[in-house]
Amino acid sequence: MFSNYIITAWNVFLRRKFFTFINLFGISITLTVLMVVSTIADGYFYPTGPEKNIDNIRVINRLVLTNDEHSHTNSSRLGYKFIKDNISRLQAPELISINSGTQMTAIFNQGRKSKLLVKKTDNVFWQVLDFSFVDGRPFTQNEFESGQFVAVINQRTQKELFGEESAIGKNVSFDNQNFNIIGVVDNVSAVEETALSDIWVPYTTNATSGYQQETMGRWDAILYHSDPEILEQANQEYIHMLKNDVILETPEKLTEAYSGAYTKLESLSREMFYEEYSYDTHEQMFISVMIGLVLLFMLLPSINMINLNVSRIMERASEIGVRKSFGASTKQLLMQFIVESILLTLIGGVIGILLSIFIINSIEASGIIPYAMFSFNFRIFVVGLFLVLIFGLVSGVYPAYKMSRLNPVTALKGGF
Amino acid sequence: MFLHLLKMIWNRKRSNSLIIAELAIAFIVVFALSVLAIRNYNLYQIPLGYNYENMWRIQIMPTRSWDETKDEDTLLQIIGAVKQQPEVEKIHLLSNPTFRNWRGTSSVTIDGQEIYYYRNRFDDKAAETFGMTLNDGRWFGPQDSNQNYSPVLVNQEFVDMYYPNESVIGKNIADPEIEDNREMRIVGVYQAFRQFGEFSAIVPYVFTRSDIQKPGRMLGIEVKLKPNADDSFEQRVLEILKSLAPENNYSIASWESQRDRQIRETTIPLTIFSIIASFLIIMVAMGLFGVLWQNVTSRTHEIGLRRALGATALSIHKQIIGELAIVTMIGVSIAFLILVQLPMLGVFQELDWSLFWISLLASLVFMLTLAGLCGYYPGKIATNYSPSEALHYE
């Protein structure tokens, strides 16, 4: 019976090629847009590079300081002193890494200029993030503490500065300092903001120690624990500390601190629904808004599909009339037309997936998102399949319902 | 004729309601697209008010907060060192750089009027080097040093917005609520300084004065280079600065490269949105076409009867297109009722009434053209039915 439906559906698609084309066009374009967006989102929330142990880390990269009346407020990344005075006291995390935000730096190599990102970190950074080393090694605790001029670079930097040769043992100079290269890692995709850089050096090599006195600045802290559950406790502990015994020394006598050890989702939703004096990140609201936007985007194609399907089914009024007079039940007819719609959306879905792969590859090649490597995986496939089914059902149910209520007599006459 | 068509649409309200909903949403998409396109085109046409050729910015990025006593001297040393480079033609100070979204804003209430403006700071000769145009009054000059007032320059938009019918020269725009506040005296009106680039809105913008001998807190230097400067200039200056003041980080970028980057950042999202919107519209157009085609086929006898009663092919064609036009107008009206809320409630500051009406008109013309194109071929088919063929069914 089921295969009969599919054969009938196939023949109908072939008979009205134009309608089939319009339907497929709509479905595949809509799905392509949604799939491309979800692939990028997937790459962001489930990184495959150094941040692949994303569940084991939380990042603190935003601090709001204010006084009691909120008349004077500072908001930026953390200062080194704030991290040392407060975050270092946290008990829950196993490891805490301190690192600076990246700095675009001009590097001159035989008169040729390269603009590269430099990040200053500690040695713990290499333990909390899971970098894959192509060559060499990260810097050790000893090298970090004694402030040795060593650097880890990514493959792009190696290629740009030394061509095809290995960079290990060679030097890279910037800001009037000369660093010995001890490690080469894979390029880090720009969606992995915490790990991202081109060159990593120990921050103990800084020319001056002025940074150690700053409460606000350009530093991040990464908390690590092998058990994700405990990280949530670490966040609670941090917020508790900010509320009760935060140590602040600012010339403006600021007393209140707002910050948090966030997951990627929390950071993103906090940026979107920014509330200065709050520890809340609103991720529920963020998810609802995103779902709302997707539904809104699907509304127009869905209505379009419903219109087309109504037309497609009404055209077959006489077929339905015949089937009804020979005793087909409403349920059977409903089934048949829903199978038809789902079959059509499935074909559209396949085209959509192929198109998305093409577009994702072009995005990777174009370099709009530096070093981006997105991969299709099971999660995205499930999302795609789910969207296809939703689409098929939404656009198939109403027309099928309308058709199943046709009066056989009028249907046989060909009118309605 | 019109009422008659309306009645026929009403008789088929079930199937028409979905088409109307589709047209209404499609109209909203077209409207959004035309608002963005028209607004950005208009903004792009307005002159920047300055020249960016051969201009470079040296950005100073301190690793600690500004120290009043030490850092001003360091800055003066930096200026002196950069000035000695052979490629440098002129050197100036500008607090918030061009083509970046670094902004300072102020809001004061003067004579019951709230005055909100963007502010920036530059030195006496900067306006000339940047190629800005003076509309009234004068630029800053040495006569402003050691006075009991702070001189300010305002842009034409500031005058048009807050003091449209009076001369602003000599006015004080200091906040009256703060006691002992220094007078901020307007000494000149310039045409424009669109710091945020070509696609930014025209905003009231105020310059205060920075004395290049006593600059205060300044984290950037603007340099006009001779046209033949190359990368070696950048490398040399970076090395000199780093050895002069190693506690800071530095970066050098031309205004032009910043401008390119900013234009790219604006146009990439717009392009993506336009591509998606165009696909949606193509989808709607094809959908409409398909539905109409089917519609005409299923109304064969009705059309046949009209033909038998003497209706011409032209009047049949008119009927099909007319019906579609009315359906489109109903959809557009529904969308209009939703869209008109936007400027009424002031949801988007940028969407004023003139932009609203122009975009609405553009979208209306577009939608009607689209409907006409979608209806043309199905209408043509309808006129091809000969009465005998059309009535054959019964």
Residue-wise pLDDT for A214-248, tens only, equals 888 889 999 999 999 899 999 999 999 999 989 88
Which of B260, B277, B306 is the endpoint of a domain?
Answer: B260
- Residue B30: per-residue pLDDT: 93
In A, which residues are within 8 Å of B67 by CB distance?
none
Any idea what the Cα angle at residue B202 is, between residues B199 and B203, rounded to 5°? 130
Which of B212, B242, B260 is the endpoint of a domain?
Answer: B260
Same domain, residue pair A194 and A309: no
d(CA B273, CA A384): 21
Structural domain contains residue A272? no
Q: Which residues of A174-191 are buried (b: 16+ CB within 10 A; e: fewer)?
A: bbeeebebbbbbbbbbeb
CA proximity to A265, closest of A54, A49, A99, A50: A54
Domain range for A225: 62-261
Structural domain contains residue A155? yes
Is the ipTM higher than 0.90? The answer is no
Structural domain contains residue B50? no
Structural domain contains residue B12? yes
Instruction: Flag if A315 and B235 touch (Cβ within 8 Å).
Output: no
Burial class of residue B110, CB neighbours in 10 A (0-12, 13-18, 19+): middle
Same domain, residue pair B197 and B329: no
Same domain, residue pair A109 and A245: yes
Q: What is the mean pLDDT of chain A?
A: 87
Structural domain contains residue A235? yes
What are the DSSP E strand ranges found in B211-266?
220-225, 248-254
The top-scoring range by mean pLDDT among A369-373, B146-150, B175-179, B347-351 is B146-150
d(CA B246, CA B174): 38
Does position A367 have pLDDT exceeding 80, yes or no?
A: no
Cβ neighbours of residue A343 closer than 8 Å, sequence gap 6 or more: A6, A9, A10
Same domain, residue pair A85 and A214: yes
Structural domain contains residue B113? yes
Whole-Å CA distances, A365 to A353, B105, B352:
18, 40, 40
Question: Smallest CA–CA separation between B144 and chain A, in Å?
Answer: 31
For residue B15, give the nearest of A113, A210, A310 by CB distance: A310
Same domain, residue pair A169 and A99: yes
Instruction: Please indicate if any CB of chain B lies within 8 Å of the CB of A135.
Output: no
Strand A256-258 vs strand B205-209: parallel, antiparallel, or unpaired? Answer: unpaired
Same domain, residue pair A119 and A230: yes
Same domain, residue pair A33 and A106: no
Query: Residue B341: enclosing H or E segment and its boundaries?
Result: helix B341-345
* pLDDT band, very low/low/confident/very high, at A414 (cuts 50, 70, 90): low
- Residue B355: per-residue pLDDT: 93
* pLDDT band, very low/low/confident/very high, at B1 (cuts 50, 70, 90): low
The residues pairing with B245 across neighbouring beta strands, listed in sequence order, are none
Which of B260, B295, B312 is the endpoint of a domain?
Answer: B260
Same domain, residue pair A39 and A70: no
Instruction: Please indicate if any CB of chain B lies within 8 Å of the CB of A74.
Output: no
Domain range for B16: 2-45+262-391
Same domain, residue pair B36 and B167: no
Choose between A252 and B276: higher pLDDT.
Answer: B276
Structural domain contains residue B166? yes
Does position A413 have pLDDT exceeding 70, yes or no?
A: no
Same domain, residue pair B81 and B196: yes
Structural domain contains residue B295? yes
Same domain, residue pair A73 and A23: no
Structural domain contains residue A57? no
Retrieve residue A262's tokens: 């966030």
Does position A416 have pLDDT exceeding 60, yes or no?
A: no
Same domain, residue pair B166 and B244: yes
pLDDT in tens, A7-32: 888 888 888 788 888 888 888 888 88
Same domain, residue pair B37 and B162: no
Report percent pLDDT > 90 for chain B. 39
Domain count, chain A: 2
Same domain, residue pair B278 and B351: yes
In A, which residues are within 8 Å of B282 by CB distance?
25
CB atoms within 10 A of CB B50: 21
Strand B88-93 vs strand B220-225: parallel, antiparallel, or unpaired? Answer: antiparallel
Domain count, chain B: 2
- Residue B152: per-residue pLDDT: 93
Retrieve residue B140's tokens: 């800053």
For residue B93, which phi and psi values (nearest 5 degrees)? -115, 140
Q: Which residue has the tokens 């709302």?
A: A292
Same domain, residue pair B40 and B62: no
In B, which residues are within 8 Å of A103 by CB distance?
61, 249
Same domain, residue pair B217 and B297: no
d(CA B3, CA B286): 28
Residue B49 Ramachandran class (φ > 0 left, ψ -120 to 50 alpha, else beta): left
Structural domain contains residue A341? yes
Retrieve residue B143's tokens: 């006569």
Does position B44 have pLDDT exceeding 50, yes or no?
A: yes
Structural domain contains residue A56? no
Alpha helix ranges (H) inside A209-254: 228-244
Instruction: Please indicate if any CB of chain B lies within 8 Å of the CB of A206.
Output: yes
Structural domain contains residue B34? yes
Q: What is the mean pLDDT of chain B?
A: 87
Strand A150-154 vs strand A219-224: parallel, antiparallel, or unpaired? Answer: unpaired
